[in-house]
Structure 1
Amino acid sequence: MTDAIAGFLDPSLPLWDPEADDTLVVRQVREETHDVKTFVLAPKAPCRFAYKPGQFLTLDLDIAGERVNRCYTISSAPTRPGTISITVKRVPDGPVSNFLHDTLKAGSEIRAVGPMGEFTCVDHPAPKYLFLSGGSGITPLMSMARSFHDLAEQRDIVFVHAARSPADIIFRDELALMARNLPDFRFAAVCEGDTIAERWNGFSGRLTLDMLKLIAPDFMEREIFVCGPSPFMMAVRMMLGEAGFDMVRHHEESFNFEELSAAEPEVAAEVTAAEDTGVKTFRVEFAKSKKVIEVPEDAFVLEMARKAGMRLPASCTKGMCGTCKSKLVSGEVEMKHAGGIRQREIDQGMVLICCSRPKTDLVIDK
């Protein structure tokens, strides 16, 4: 028995605590498709990971001298607590995904906090599930599916994944294996087209309501989890709405930062005046971009910055993910977060602008 295996069999093994040590070591890099990689991570010293399938990590990266925070859903299952994995699709001109693909290798070290998130089947137990994923949105649903598979749970699951081509079906072989091992697990891929190497004989085009009825005729009875690009999730919402589905049993998640940024238009004005409502406003300057906005004392900084047309990384907008973490150069804010920032970071002058209201004029290092 190797030392590594023996170490992880220790019943007294502690849980990973990013407050004590947030460094994770890349144990392995796996090629999933031509533009998707899985990064298998572990603490320096043996620890166990505990999380709900569907939750995410926030990476704290130094890219070209700039500190960048990004959320990535955990693709591994908590049933295998010795390591934790994220699966990342390379995005053209995406600074973070390209950095991870081009830089990380076995032995590399990165910082991370978490796990966090509310998108999980654990909080919505049901006898029948429908998982709908598009592209790299497969990751949280894969974590859920892997968990049921590892535990040999006889749960009725239909897993539908939309991809551009057969070559873009992430975890294709593993999902097929799950379908063989679990009698009530069904997997169906929907491909927009063929590849030179493979003619696709399955469901073709884009997912439609008629197609969904063929794949899962009883979808109206299922708890539905959806993750993928915004257009995909919007199409699913429209389909379910047309069918009269009870949207209380619909759950969705997305972390596509490049897409979010592209959808936010820039504006020429550098000063956006607040409406004259009698509420006190403060001047907020973004040091790097030279943008200046006015933020009412009862409004969040991120909210007003986006209304002014600024493109700032953010995801949950609940003070949970840490993506909008920024250095407060001067001024004071009232911040009520949900775990996306650590006390030592607050002590260093960091804030989450999604859940921070100004108490004075501010200068933010963005």
Structure 2
Amino acid sequence: MDAPAPNAANAKAQTVGPVPTGYYRWEPEEDDVLICRAVREETHDVKTFVFAPRHKRQFEFVSGQFLTFEFEIDGATIHRCYTISSPPTRPDTVSITVKRVPNGPVSNWLHDAFQPGMMLKATVPMGEFSWSGMQATQYLFISGGSGITPMMSMTRSAFDLALISDIAFVHAARSPADIIFRDELDFMSRRNRSIRPTFIVEKDGPRDAWSGYRGRFDDSKLAMICPDFRDRVVFVCGPAPFMRAVKTTLKEAGFDMSRYHQESFNFDDFTEEAQEQIADAAEEIDSGVKVFQLEFTKTGRTIECPEGLTVMEAARRAGMRLPSSCSKGLCGTCKSKLVSGAVDMKHGGGIRQREIDAGMALLCCSKPKTDLVIER
């Protein structure tokens, strides 16, 4: 992700401060277990889960990064990545904020069963969706639903450090009752006038008539809320349709898209961009290329994978919906057991060497070298 050249003063302010005496950084290679310290209800279907290491350690990350957790639910191991909603300025704990998704195995389990004192395994914070090191002093954060979490981490950090940064924060929700962190954003804006939150809702709540902006995000609302948006660096996060609408709006308004950044972790979305990438890869495959057989033990499916395609690409071409998120070998969501066979895996840090030695692989960045049997 391209970013403006760093400014020394601003870059220093937006990173974790000096290491205090007695400081020990949390290293998941040494102990990857986190203990839940608190569960906080944000809205009727959103909760924040606060974690700390089992031993005296502190977290080191930049706002916008995510953690990948390992869940054991109903005898199955599931990996999910969640953006950190707490700021790096509060390093003793780390928080994720999770919206309940209908039929979502992880979100429903977290909301219904997970309690303080329970533990989860997690990987080191990763991701490039961050303002860390940027020289800009004017930002526009645009979020929809639970996409507010990375922006909240950045805004909390700016508030804690009293940064001289002008933050226009636009958040879209279904109703007033669905606005996540509404009270906290209002509080920060009262104490720091450079933080200016604006909320857009689609409809009134059952007990809360709305007098602010109403409807969907569009060019007219953007012009009224933030008339100088063309001078800002923009960060966008939310459901894929929401981000597509925002991106289109900005493009049509003549925004310099080199200053546009977006992030999304949606395990059910198969975006048009991903489909185009798969189609392009398929066109490059010669008709005489070797084809491998991929057997998935849990689903009972056997598919073909031409040499040069990743396992994930081949599975999606065959109509299979496997868990995935980053598609870059970063998050670990698609981590799976190879029962047999070999792959060429070029990952971005989403898997540990001991897991590779145990036969695990990230399907999004693994290209078959032989026929495979995969525990999926």
TM-score range, shorter chain: over 0.9
| Counterpart AA for 2:183 | D
2:195 matched to 1:191? no
Offset, 1:32: 0.3
274, 283, 294: which one aligns with 2:293: 283
**CA deviation vs aligned residue, 1:36-88 (integer Å, no higher than 9, x gap):** 00000001111010001000000111111111000100000000000000000
How many residues are treated as equivalent by the alignment? Answer: 350
CA contact (8 A) 1:331 1:362 kept: yes
Partners of 1:95 and 1:258 in 2: how far apart? 12
CA contact (8 A) 1:156 1:185 kept: yes
Partner residue, 1:50: 60
171, 177, 181: which one aligns with 1:161: 171
SS of the residue corresponding to residue 64 of structure 2 reads coil
2:370 matched to 1:360? yes
Partner residue, 1:133: 143
SS of the residue corresponding to residue 345 of structure 1 reads helix
Alignment of 1:124-273 (within 5 A): 124-260=134-270
Partner residue, 2:27: 17
Partner residue, 2:82: 72
91, 101, 125: which one aligns with 1:81: 91
2:117 matched to 1:101? no
Partners of 1:43 and 1:285 in 2: how far apart? 38
Offset, 1:125: 3.4
Offset, 1:225: 0.2
Structure 1 unmatched ranges of 5 or more: 1-8, 266-271
Offset, 1:259: 4.3
2:335 matched to 1:325? yes
Partner residue, 1:316: 326
Partners of 2:51 and 2:142 in 1: how far apart? 26
2:319 matched to 1:300? no
SS of the residue corresponding to residue 319 of structure 1 reads coil
SS of the residue corresponding to residue 115 of structure 1 reads coil
Q: Percent identity?
A: 59
Partners of 1:160 and 1:334 in 2: how far apart? 43
Offset, 1:153: 0.5
Offset, 1:304: 1.1
Offset, 1:336: 0.9
CA contact (8 A) 2:65 2:128 kept: yes
2:118 matched to 1:115? no
Offset, 1:123: 4.6
**CA deviation vs aligned residue, 1:314-339 (integer Å, no higher than 9, x gap):** 01111111000000000001111110
Superposition TM-score, scaled by structure 2 size: 0.90
**CA deviation vs aligned residue, 1:218-257 (integer Å, no higher than 9, x gap):** 0011000000001100100110111011111111111121
CA contact (8 A) 1:94 1:258 kept: no
Partners of 2:61 and 2:359 in 1: how far apart? 29
SS of the residue corresponding to residue 249 of structure 2 reads helix
2:44 matched to 1:34? yes
Offset, 1:132: 0.2
CA contact (8 A) 2:285 2:308 kept: no
| Counterpart AA for 2:130 | T
Partners of 1:201 and 1:361 in 2: how far apart? 60
| Counterpart AA for 1:208 | D
